Structure 1
Amino acid sequence: MRSASAAMPRVGLPLVAILSLAGADGLAQPAPPNPLGQPLLDASGVIRDDAFIRVPLRPDDERYAGIDGDRIKEWLLEVDAISLADRDAGNLFWGRNVGTAGHVVTQDWVEGYFRRFGLHDVSRQSFDLNPVWHPTAWDLTFAVGGETFTLESARPPQGAVSTPDEGVEFDLVWLGGGSAADYLGRDVEGKAVLIQDIPRPGTLRHSIRDEDSVARAIERGAAAVGIVYGISDNFAVWQRTGDRPGFNVGYEDGMRLRDLLGQGERVTVRYTMESEMRAGLTAASVWGTLPGASDEEILIIAHMDGYFQAALDNGSGLAVMVGLLEHYAGIPQAERPRTLRFLGSVGHHGGPGTSWLHDNRGTALASTVLAINLEHVAAVRTKYWGPRLRMMNAVSPMRWWVNGSPALLDVVLDAFGRFNVGITADMESGASGEMGRMARDVPSIQVITSPEIKHTEQDTPEWIPAVGLEQITRAYARIIDRLGPLSRDELQPATLPATAGGE
């Protein structure tokens, strides 16, 4: 059976190898190495933090020079270490998940920084959790021609129930994207269908969700669903497969299975799972307050839970929260126009997120003039080149949301432009993630990106550039400062006219 000490799947080749193979329009012979080497990469083939494009501070922004991306990334690495310790402790579905020791240690970490920087009223708010899924053992093997083999990226689905002790075994059938057209003339009754999931760009928006592929497979009689995640590399992900057995593999491993089937081979998959649902568990949010010159509050939120290393989702948000905390803790209270309230939120992957704030908005948000959600706030920009996702020396643009007045919008866009925070041309129709339910209860701001690595075991620190953490922290600090002279009423969104239906 599989244990937590199993090796992590590789994500393609090091960039040095990729680049040496990328010339001459795919000729079989690799080009000789360039005598100049790879000036932007470190010895492991990963882009160096100092190789990223940086925009110099304007003279009137020198007050933000102390917000340093390298320092913020060190805090991210501390959060990352919590996840690695949870993995090394033997947890199979590891990370900083609610109801686990990893989440409790994350609460301790957040509270420690709140107290270190002198926040007032530091406390924890406990929530009862729905039963939490906990796998205790699993195994996935494949067989062809009497030979059994494993795949490096193969993972069970999140939420999977226990199988019989001997496991279950199915013949494998390739079903392309799992659309209705892919089933024409195909009999999948009692078989495991293998479906390719195309990220758009990640697990938040992806083809099996758009096509409802898992439900269709079950309706057509499939006994199990296998998901091939992505169009590049070999990401390991634990996507759900409904109430049926299933498995996930990365692109490289999925293409290996597809090609075996394409050669006419009979491929089988054997799957064994031991899991339980743990009831009666709790998890907590952590609160702290940095008083300002007035009792009006700006609420700064970062969720604490995360799958696996979760460097982007949401180590990046937690690190930026500490960066803002350090910056404002060094400013005299009289020079902070508003009170800053910090919330290490319990999380929404398996917890209630900020639903409590929405449900109690009349009291919990009575003094809140603005909410800022720090979630997936910095990732490296990437480019596909064949079956590889290549890093670039730039920070990825993000989706964005502002709920408030034109004056608030002007301040936000000015700050994003000053600090090179790239955003989509069109603004989102609503906030997502941790702030989704409460985003219209008060004026609010969010930037967020959800790339291919999100919710995979490859959401690791090398995808999070220090300069990106620096840029967004400086931008939010300038936004907070620029809003000081504006009254609460001046931040409020305009009231929309009622529709014909009165809604």
Structure 2
Amino acid sequence: MKNQRLTAEGRVREATMPDGETIFSWIKDLTEFGRRGTHAADDRRSVDYLLGAFKGFGLSDVQVQESESFSWRVTRSHLAVGGTPIPHAPVAFSFDIGGNGAFSTGPDGLSAPLADVGDGTEDDFARTDVDGKIVLFDLRFTLPRRLLLAGGEFAYDPQGSVEDADLDTANPYLSNYEDVLERAIEAGAAGFVGVLADYFDSHDLYPEHTPGITIPGLWVTRAAGARIRALAASGATGATLRLDGERAPATARTVIGYLPGRTTDTIMVQSHHDSPWDGGVEDASGTAEVLALARHYSRIPQERRPKTLMFVLMDSHWTGYQAHQKFVDTFITDPAASHRIVANVTLEHIGKQGEIGPGGELRIFDRPEYRAVFENVSEPLKAVIETAITTHDLQRTVRLPADTLVPLLGELPTDADFVYEAGVPTISFISGPVYLYDKADTLDKVYKADLVPVAEAFADIIDHLSTTPSDEIRA
């Protein structure tokens, strides 16, 4: 059995999937680039690496699609309350000047009274004058695990590992940030300080781009927020905030390669390669899973691939998704597109479980973070997903009906959203550990034990997508 493996149905097939050490080596290589994609000036390191991998696997029509995006960087920041310096980090993409160029609060920074609005609700702003002031508010994450798990139609947890206390830990993807800043800007605030009230002891949060945040902002930890409030209570009502930097044009680069099948009906396999940090989990791990599947299928003869396979690694995940939109415009909605993309498989975040300890510290457990498979495929394919999850022992995994949840969430909270919204049936695997947008997302957070099982499970799913009549894939 050394050169064979079992499918979800128990059939014997050649073992063409790379081993865990090989997949992990690709993750390690990507994390060593650090900031990559649109976050680094004219960065081609990850793109050239992925091009080399695709070409080495023998993929055809390997190409890079370029689109206009931007980079955002800070050259200097400072925060003091009543003359006391406060540790902080810049809020990425704040101080939006309406385009590219330098931004600055001036050589002396912005000095103004503090206005504490707590959680920043409408009532909080109604009773607080923030005009011309620096708003202090508590950032709250609004998507706890229990909400996602409650929406599941199938859950696999054979060890009974779900602990009720864990379910209140929130995914950092959704928060009150946009609502609070909209209220603050409308009320005339001059700047803001966000207290990471639901976070571990770090101020290095780097969320995705939110446009229109026209005032400068800084993050502080929960402990630093308490320090600021103590200083304010003792009479230090003023703060000085400095934020200098630049938003500059940047080229987003999407790497694409094909494995032709017997038809041009095409299954797309996707992740994103860019990151503002080392990004071991987000998303070197997802990128490596796409590489694993590309190499696996490259060793299967074309005559045994009923549909064409298209492997896609995106950029601009943080800086506005311009690469995703251009991809959709070119390969999906354009009537002249050479391939009909009939299904999308997206892979993201093979990470260890993260929790916030009693002292605010980040605690990591050697088990997989709770994860979800969002899908909108037919009943037979839903059963295929469940069989793949159980056969390959993807513990702590829930299947979620995308078409039911997207209207509630406002979007598909994965890299597949633009493809899903374009009408392509989608199966999207993702987890949302609390450290996902933090510089703490380092190589050691990757859950190595699942690298091969996840790839094997999705090979089973792709095999079924390949043999399902294209018009019968969608729910």
Note whether the superposition's TM-score is higher than 0.5.
yes
Match of 1:21 in 2: none
Say whether 1:138 aligns with 2:138. Answer: no
Q: Which of the two has higher C-alpha Rg?
A: 1
Shift of 1:446: 0.5
Match of 1:228 in 2: 195
Q: Distance in 2 between matches of 1:492 and 1:179?
A: 40
Q: Which of the pair has the greater relative contact order for Cα pairs under 8 Å at 6+ separation?
A: 2
Q: Distance in 2 between matches of 1:337 and 1:70?
A: 30
Q: Distance in 2 between matches of 1:381 and 1:120?
A: 37
Match of 2:151 in 1: none
Q: Given residue 175 of structure 1, which amino acid in structure 2 is its aligned partner?
A: V
Is contact 2:272–2:314 with CA below 8 Å preserved after alignment?
yes
Q: Distance in 2 between matches of 1:453 and 1:335?
A: 41
How do residues 169-318 of structure 1 correspond to structure 2 at under 5 angstroms?
169-183=111-125, 185-199=127-141, 200=143, 201-209=170-178, 212-231=179-198, 232-238=200-206, 242-262=213-233, 264-266=234-236, 268-279=238-249, 281-318=250-287
Shift of 1:371: 1.5
1:385-424 Cα offsets, whole Å, 9 max, x none, are: 4234422232122233223322222212211222233333
Sequence identity (%): 24
Say whether 1:403 aligns with 2:372. Answer: no
Which secondary structure does the structure 1 equivalent of 2:219 belong to?
strand
Say whether 1:126 aligns with 2:66. Answer: yes
Say whether 1:328 aligns with 2:297. Answer: yes
Q: Given residue 134 of structure 2, which amino acid in structure 1 is its aligned partner?
A: A
Which secondary structure does the structure 2 equivalent of 1:354 belong to?
helix
1:193-227 Cα offsets, whole Å, 9 max, x none, are: 21111223244211334xx1122223344321110
Shift of 1:268: 4.3
1:316-373 Cα offsets, whole Å, 9 max, x none, are: 2111111112222233333333332111223332242332343342343743332112
Which secondary structure does the structure 2 equivalent of 1:381 belong to?
strand
1:59-94 Cα offsets, whole Å, 9 max, x none, are: 6577558543333222111111111xxxxxxxxxxx
Provide the aligned C-alpha RMSD in A: 2.9
Is contact 2:18–2:292 with CA below 8 Å preserved after alignment?
yes
Q: What is the total number of aligned residue pairs between the two structures?
A: 417
Say whether 1:158 aligns with 2:130. Answer: no
Q: Distance in 1 between matches of 2:301 and 2:67?
A: 34
How do residues 453-468 of structure 1 correspond to structure 2 at under 5 angstroms?
453-468=435-450
Of 447, 467, 472, which residue of structure 2 is paired with 1:485? 467
How do residues 16-55 of structure 1 correspond to structure 2 at under 5 angstroms?
none
Q: Distance in 2 between matches of 1:483 and 1:156?
A: 42
Q: Which range moves more in the overlay, 316-325 or 168-177?
A: 168-177
| Cα gap change, 1:478 to 1:157, in 2 (>3 Å) | closer
Q: Distance in 2 between matches of 1:102 and 1:128?
A: 12
| Cα gap change, 1:116 to 1:196, in 2 (>3 Å) | same
Is contact 1:197–1:207 with CA below 8 Å preserved after alignment?
yes
Say whether 1:442 aligns with 2:430. Answer: no
Match of 1:109 in 2: 49
Greater strand proportion: 2
Structure 1: stretches of 5+ with no match in the other structure: 1-56, 84-94, 494-503
Which secondary structure does the structure 1 equivalent of 2:220 belong to?
strand
Q: Given residue 122 of structure 1, which amino acid in structure 2 is its aligned partner?
A: V
Match of 1:70 in 2: 21
| Cα gap change, 1:456 to 1:377, in 2 (>3 Å) | closer
| Cα gap change, 1:154 to 1:354, in 2 (>3 Å) | closer
TM-score by length of 2: 0.78
Q: Distance in 2 between matches of 1:261 and 1:389?
A: 28
Shift of 1:447: 1.5
Is contact 1:140–1:269 with CA below 8 Å preserved after alignment?
no
| Cα gap change, 1:114 to 1:230, in 2 (>3 Å) | farther
Which secondary structure does the structure 2 equivalent of 1:98 belong to?
helix
Shift of 1:247: 1.0
Which secondary structure does the structure 1 equivalent of 2:342 belong to?
strand
Match of 1:423 in 2: 397
Q: Which range moves more in the overlay, 468-477 or 171-180?
A: 171-180
| Cα gap change, 1:193 to 1:293, in 2 (>3 Å) | same
